[in-house]
Chains A and B, each alone.
Chain A
């Protein structure tokens, strides 16, 4: 991560965004929708990667942040009648606040206890969503009507249900998250996070306030995940409790591991690959969970650095 590599790094990331923008005109309808979804979910993975990949904190409850964004936005539209941009903001703020509270509590623990605690808090949120099924419709979830999924920008109406608009919105969100994560990990603060991952005691001894750094990482990670959830509600219009289940805490872990933990482009690569792997597998078998399970086992056994991590290790040392 030398300074000399900086232009190369920025160019690579711009090229990825450019490629995704070009795909918009090339992809057939079906894949157009899939890639839009992948970009939103990749933002979730970027949020997860910030905490797991860079800070070294393994959370098994990130679905709660995604769900906080999802429900924050969805419920604000459904029951309070808020406009789309305001509801989006509400989702992100709810996610950030939840992350702050969870961070303050869960960071009192370390290691295995941190994983179990985050998993339990996520389970509490999941049960809460089921319990208040009068408003959340529980397991079934609810669909946001087409009319409200639109943004009025100074007379210009953006209809988020239109595939092209949806793709641009997903791409913008992804680009913001990608460059934000790139900026963070290349900053002084990002290096402190990596130092905490490598050796927290030593980092503290060197005079860094590791608790505040970790708390900020949890909040940033939770906020990015919530932004993904809030956008998902607006762009795809479905709000359901399955997004708060344990499975959605495991999936970002899988995506990040597959793409490469602590690489900025890994989340996108992992999400894209896994989404298509599941898509193709479900063409001839309904047993796609088997694929997820085997992928996790094989990854930790034989491929612990993931796709981009291996690439960086073997050939491209400058990859961030």
Chain B
């Protein structure tokens, strides 16, 4: 393949990565923005979404599209419930203390990972894509499903933006993010907002995982990479900023797609991680963010 088409292919792959990453990172960013806590188990919610999708698609077993649509609905709901239970049983009792929360969510990470290993097993298993159209470009054929993933992600991002910026729920969330105590004084049920935001963040990760699972398989260790990449995106995009998160996901996703098409993936990851760590050291508010409150 010539350089041009190769670059186009890498760009398309990067866009798919960016689409999924934007959703996952948005979940992490919402939780951090509103609740001021870092959820280290976020990647495991992603993994759980993929694993549940496999179980659902397998249980239905009829036409792949039917199983996939069922997974698309059931999987985020299951993940949301797990997150809600964790929030009520653990995080709330810790009073959202940042350090204790990190330790507790590390614990949650291991618990979820081990449960997935025990009940799902160590194998990577695919979920069939709902449709298999190939769009033929002049140089190569490209999976129509991957383009659908990008479209679906854009739709969810738009819906989230609408929820945050144009609805009462979003207003309540932004008020809580801006000043928890004043929000409480204005009779906003901060406690329930926290529970909702935590579940919603996890559901976004779960949804992203269902979208990606027909492309890359479900595996019990698949959570670590999305976690680190989401951290990177959230940091570069500025914590709690939706636009920043989307732009950063685009930059990281495209960068990842293009760099790993031309360089060795380990080296690419190494350089990217180092660069981001240095961004965090020298520009803690992120590249697009304003000064953290």
**Could you list which residues of chain A lie within 8 angstroms of chain B, going by C-beta atoms?**
58, 60, 105-106, 108-109, 111-113, 115-117, 120-121, 123-124, 127-128, 130-131, 246, 250, 253, 257, 287, 289-290, 292-301, 304
**Interface contact A124-B273, CB-CB below 8 Å:** yes
**Interface contact B111-A293, CB-CB below 8 Å:** yes
Main SS at interface, chain A: helix
Q: Give bound CA distance, A296 to B103, whole Å.
A: 7
**Interface contact A124-B274, CB-CB below 8 Å:** yes
**Interface contact A292-B110, CB-CB below 8 Å:** yes
**Interface contact B270-A124, CB-CB below 8 Å:** yes
Asked whether B261 is an interface residue with its Cβ less than 8 Å from the other chain, the reply is: no
In the complex, chain B residues 208-252 whose Cβ is within 8 Å of any chain A Cβ: 224, 228, 231, 235
Q: Give bound CA distance, A39 to B105, whole Å.
A: 28
| Other-chain residue from B104, B111, B224, B273 in contact with A290 (beta carbon distance below 8 A) | B111
| Other-chain residue from B107, B113, B269 in contact with A295 (beta carbon distance below 8 A) | B107
| Other-chain residue from A58, A117, A287, A295 in contact with B280 (beta carbon distance below 8 A) | A117
**Interface contact A290-B115, CB-CB below 8 Å:** yes
**Interface contact A120-B277, CB-CB below 8 Å:** yes
Q: Give bound CA distance, A293 to B44, whole Å.
A: 13
**Interface contact B270-A127, CB-CB below 8 Å:** yes
**Interface contact B281-A105, CB-CB below 8 Å:** yes
In the complex, identify which listed stretch (B14-22, B51-59, B93-101, B187-195) lies at the interface while the others stay far away. B93-101
**Interface contact B280-A116, CB-CB below 8 Å:** yes
In the complex, chain B residues 34-68 whose Cβ is within 8 Å of any chain A Cβ: 38
Q: How many residues of B contact A (CB 8 A)?
A: 40
Q: Give bound CA distance, A138 to B266, whole Å.
A: 12
Using A123-B228, A246-B224 as known contacts, say yes or no to A257 and B103 having CB atoms under 8 A apart: yes
Q: Give bound CA distance, A287 to B113, whole Å.
A: 10
Q: Give bound CA distance, A19 to B137, whole Å.
A: 75
**Interface contact A293-B110, CB-CB below 8 Å:** yes
Please indicate the chain B residues that have their CB under 8 angstroms from the CB of A121 in the complex. 274, 277
A105, A109, A289, A298: most-surrounded residue (chain B CB, <10 A): A289
Q: Give bound CA distance, A289 to B118, whole Å.
A: 11
Report the minimal beta-carbon distance from A102 to chain B, rounded to whole angstroms: 10
In this complex, what residue of A is CB-closest to B266? A131
Q: Give bound CA distance, A298 to B107, whole Å.
A: 9
Report the minimal beta-carbon distance from B28 to chain A, rounded to whole angstroms: 11
Please indicate the chain B residues that have their CB under 8 angstroms from the CB of A127 in the complex. 266, 269-270, 273
Report the minimal beta-carbon distance from A142 to chain B, rounded to whole angstroms: 19
**Interface contact A116-B235, CB-CB below 8 Å:** yes
Using A109-B280, A109-B284, A116-B38 as known contacts, say yes or no to A131 and B108 having CB atoms under 8 A apart: no
Using A121-B277, A127-B266 as known contacts, say yes or no to A297 and B104 having CB atoms under 8 A apart: yes
Asked whether B81 is an interface residue with its Cβ less than 8 Å from the other chain, the reply is: no
Please indicate the chain B residues that have their CB under 8 angstroms from the CB of A116 in the complex. 38, 231, 235, 280
Please indicate the chain B residues that have their CB under 8 angstroms from the CB of A290 in the complex. 110-111, 114-115, 118
Please indicate the chain B residues that have their CB under 8 angstroms from the CB of A112 in the complex. 38, 98, 102
Please indicate the chain A residues that have their CB under 8 angstroms from the CB of B228 in the complex. 120, 123
**Interface contact A296-B106, CB-CB below 8 Å:** yes
Using A116-B235, A128-B270 as known contacts, say yes or no to A304 and B100 having CB atoms under 8 A apart: yes
**Interface contact B109-A117, CB-CB below 8 Å:** no
Q: Give bound CA distance, A227 to B184, whole Å.
A: 50
